[in-house]
Every structure is written in structure tokens, then in C-alpha cells.
Amino acid sequence: MSVRITKPKTHRGKRMLAKREPKIVELAKQALMLRGSTASVTSLQFVKDLYAIKRMQSTYFGQKHPYNPFEDVKPIEELTQKYDHSLFAFCSDNKKRPNNVILGRMFDHQLLDMIEFGVEQFKSLTAIRNAKVMDGNKPCLIFSGDVWHQNEEYSKCKSLLIDFFRGEVVEQVRLAGFEHALSFTAVDGKIFLRSYKILMTKSGTKTPHIELEEIGPSADLVIRRTKLASADLFKRACRTPSAAKPKKVKNMSKDVFGSKLGRIHMPRQDYRKLQVKRGRALRTEKSPKKASKLSKK
């Protein structure tokens, strides 16, 4: 069976396909926010708050979608490919799994991994009446707890949360630019999500005094089901293209402190001809004949 390939007929279609082609340095990952057919008020508001945090890199669909990603993920794969998004959030609710939220990510328009969370003790952005941060602000992600490094499931969950909330990849960040902090604390089988606004006040020194003010959303997340990528697929997804790797400079290296070290090749030198100031102890002794002549004079 042959697969039919349709070529673009307009310049706009060609530009769109060129935009979706793989790049050496990818842009910020976009997220697709989806509502299930049986979403509860809590799970739906949680996804809306995620959309408010990622408003600049996400698309929200308010209509109901009768999907079940853990049974058939193909409809979501088609949607993410259609809109060129690599992340998705799906909310649902039933008697067995109340207040359900699924976060997932794609690789090459196919599912890489996804994790299902149960939302408990939820407080939305509107419930906490404090001044909010600006849209598109890059958050500071804080992960507390030893389980993030000890458990493989939590380690993959941490990687997924970083991909979901990190936003634009930048090389340098101004200290005053940190206005938003997202804290994820893993303890007692739960992940405590808290969102804070960073307030910087004068301290009398160059380093300002930092205060945290809770702004929401706030929720206790419980991991229910997971569908993680295999080791080979995850390694292929994390592979860096050769064009993006820095070119190795010959005879140049760096030490543990980041200092640049270089090796220079020079021809063999005659150290007796070096023009250096020699001390009295390094001077050559005179011959005994010359010494006797000088003593007679």
C-alpha cells in the first residue's frame, strides 16, 4: 500500500512546511491544552491555570474531546502534528479517577511519554487574590526532595515538568528578571505544586532581600498511571545533532574551573643563547691563566 504525499501548491503552504521541518536549534516547545468530555471543574480549572502560565507557548481548546490517551493516543498525535505542538495537557474526570490531568510530550509527532496526575487540595489563580506576574515570564523551577533522583518514575516526571514549564531557552538571565517561581516538592507519595511571585526589596547590600508571595495555582498531585519511553527511544529523542555540537579546537582544553588551556609547539632552543640576566652564582668561572695575569696587574 503506497502512501500518498501531497505537495504544497502555494507559497504560504511551502513556508508552513519549511517552518515545521526539523531545525538544528529548536524553538520553544508549544503545548496543546485539551478538555475531555467528562472534565470536572477542578481538573478543567487546573488546565486553564496551566494555560495562563504558558499563554505565550500554548493553545487552548474549549470544546469537549471524547479521548482517552492511555487507551488510544492517536487522535492527540494527529492534533499535535496538525498544530505543530510537542506538549499536551488533557483533563478528564470519572468515578475511578476523579480530577484527572494527563501531561505528555511528543517526539517526531509520536508519543514519547505521558503521566497521569490526580489533583487534590487545589487553589486556582483567581482564588488567591494577589498581584500576578506578567505573561511570558520565564519561571524559576525548584525541585525539592531526594525521590527525584532515587526513583526512575519521578526522574522522568521531573524531565517532563521541566520541558513543560521552562519556556524559552536563554543563555543569560538578568537577576531582576526573575519574577516567578514554581516549586515542586516530592514527599510521602505526593508532589506539592506551589507558585510564588518573587519580591526583591532593598537590603543595604548589592544582593537584594528576597521574599516569596504565593499567587497560585496550588495543588497536591498524585501520580496515577505512567507511559514512559523506552531507553532507546529516549536516547534518540535527547540526541544532539552533530551540527549543533561545538567544534573541537586543536590543542585547546579546559580545566575543572573553566579556564582555557592551550598547547604551543615550538622548535628546540639553545638555552645558552637566551638573553637573560644571569646572577653572580650562574656566571662561568675564568681560566687559571687569565686569573694569574689579572692578579699580577
Q: Is residue 254 part of a domain?
A: no
pTM, two decimals, is 0.78
Q: Is residue 76 part of a domain?
A: yes
Evaluate if residue 227 carries a pLDDT over 80. yes
Per-residue pLDDT at 133: 85
Name the phi and psi angles at 205, rounded to 5: -125, 180
Euclidean distance between CA atoms 48 and 31, whole angstroms = 12
Evaluate if residue 9 carries a pLDDT over 70. yes
Banded pLDDT at 295 (limits 50, 70, 90): low
Taking residues 25-36, what's their average pLDDT?
86
Banded pLDDT at 32 (limits 50, 70, 90): very high
Taking residues 255-275, what's their average pLDDT?
81
3-state SS, one letter per residue, for the chain = CCCCCCCCCCHHHHHHHHHHCCCCCCCCCCEEEEEECCCCHHHHHHHHHHHHHCHHHEEEEEEEECCECCCECHHHHHHHHHHCCCEEEEEECCCCCCCEEEEEEEECCEEEEEEEEEEEEEECCCCCCCCCCCCCCCCEEEEECCHHHHCHHHHHHHHHHHHHHCCCCCCCCCHHHCCEEEEEEEECCEEEEEEEEEEEECCCCCCCEEEEEECCCEEEEEEEEEECCCHHHHHHHCCCCHHHCCCCCCCEEECCCCCEEECCCCCCCCHHHCCCCCCHHHCCCCCHHHHHHHHHC
Cα→Cα distances 44→41, 117, 122, 214, Å:
5, 13, 11, 21
Evaluate if residue 247 carries a pLDDT over 70. yes
Give the count of domains, the chain. 1
Q: Is residue 141 part of a domain?
A: yes
Cβ–Cβ < 8 Å for 86, 114? no
Q: Is residue 295 part of a domain?
A: no
Q: Is residue 46 part of a domain?
A: yes
78: CATH:
3.40.50.10480
Cross-strand bridge partners of residue 71:
none
Total residues belonging to the chain: 297
Taking residues 40-54, what's their average pLDDT?
93
If one compares 283 and 82, the residue with the highest pLDDT of the two is 82
Per-residue pLDDT at 39: 92
Per-residue pLDDT at 283: 63
Q: Is residue 288 part of a domain?
A: no
Amino acid of residue 173 = V
> Could you read off the pLDDT of 69-113 as tens digits, one per residue?
999 999 999 999 888 899 999 999 999 999 999 999 999 889 999
Evaluate if residue 225 carries a pLDDT over 50. yes
Per-residue pLDDT at 2: 44
> Could you read off the pLDDT of 170-222 as tens digits, one per residue?
777 777 778 899 999 999 999 999 999 998 888 888 888 889 999 989 999 99
Per-residue pLDDT at 1: 42
If one compares 279 and 99, the residue with the highest pLDDT of the two is 99
Per-residue pLDDT at 291: 57
> Could you read off the pLDDT of 122-131 as tens digits, one per residue?
999 889 888 8
CA angle 69, 144, 128 (to 5 degrees): 75
Quote the domain boundaries for residue 128: 27-244
Q: Is residue 293 part of a domain?
A: no
Q: Is residue 62 part of a domain?
A: yes
